[in-house]
Structure 1
């Protein structure tokens, strides 16, 4: 029974993902999802409490594997700079994807009208950057960088990595980002980070 329930839940997410891609968040309703699913609206609400919850689940599924690989790339190494550069390149490639930018715009737009932003933050960025903080705490213990608040250090790294790209991508000024440009900006960001936390 549990397997069937999980299959039904996944079917809802698959249909919702297709509809969000076709009609956007605003143009998709719970009623339309249930019609396309071939079930009742009540059945849909047995699995998800709102359209926002479905959207977050769809987004986490679509982006999850790439973000998991990105944050999992942070492993102890004698070459901290190279590890951070590899992580930074993977991170930027993930967050600058058109679908991630579109989802981020949507979440920011709805953040004050619903709990979408808070839920997404708790289940996405907060988890990932907590992993970065733990990694940096280990690097501090190994005397690779000076000791400081690891969570603040993680946020500083994030800010440096995103600094050259996020605003222009969010506002549609930069529509594509090449791998060489990402590599160069990541090198500048990690150099600045290493200088900030130099022993």
Structure 2
């Protein structure tokens, strides 16, 4: 029971810190502000996180694994490959372009070059999340549903096909939100382009190439 309470308290701290970081930015958010919002003491806060950097690491790591699981569920709910990749793209872009991930990316971009936080986040959280998609793509290649290629490269190409200039516009503050219709269009055209690249060769496709 004590462990459950400890985990719940940790999640509460991360949630509150995430809200304050999003509202004020990393530099303007202090541990005192976080403890005040929580209604506890700084000693309690430091009992869970030794520094603001460590807490920020927890914030940016918080929901990536959970969101990765949800995205894979969206993928498996499709009736065919085009629908599956389209649904995955819509879910990915909707989450990527929402306020919290955008705020976290902006704060991460402001970290000093070579920041250990950024390196740890990429190596231990972000890359493994994309690795799950690469593994799924590799499985589809093994099943003959997609053309044999480097699964990681294919996953990164899918990512780029979806992002268009939507991520740039959000990060630069040009748009506060992206129209869902534009997200659907980006995800649909990305799925179509990806399958043109990676659909397995058929006799008809081979003949056209000659």
* TMscore range, shorter length: 0.7 to 0.9
Structure with greater Cα Rg: 2
Comparing both chains, which one has the higher relative contact order based on Cα–Cα distances under 8 Å and sequence gaps of 6 or more?
2
User: In the alignment, what sits opposite 2:106?
Assistant: 105
Alignment of 1:73-88 (within 5 A): 73-75=74-76, 79-88=80-89
User: In the alignment, what sits opposite 2:41?
Assistant: 39
Q: Give yes or no for contact 1:89–1:186 (8 Å, CA) kept in 2.
A: yes
Alignment of 1:13-28 (within 5 A): 13-28=14-29
Greater mean alpha carbon deviation, residues 115-124 or residues 70-79: 70-79
Question: Is the aligned partner of 1:128 residue 2:117?
Answer: no
Q: TM-score, normalised by structure 1?
A: 0.84
Q: Give yes or no for contact 2:162–2:186 (8 Å, CA) kept in 1.
A: yes
Q: Cα distance, 1:73 vs. partner?
A: 2.4
Q: TM-score, normalised by structure 2?
A: 0.80
CA shift digits 1:140-175 (9 cap, x unpaired): 112111101111111111111112312222112233
SS of structure 2 residue aligned to 1:2: helix
C-alpha RMSD of the superposition? 2.6
Alignment of 1:158-177 (within 5 A): 158-177=159-178
Question: Is the aligned partner of 1:6 residue 2:35?
Answer: no
Change beyond 3 A, Cα 1:79–1:11? closer
**Number of residues paired by the alignment?**
198
Q: Give yes or no for contact 2:30–2:52 (8 Å, CA) kept in 1.
A: yes
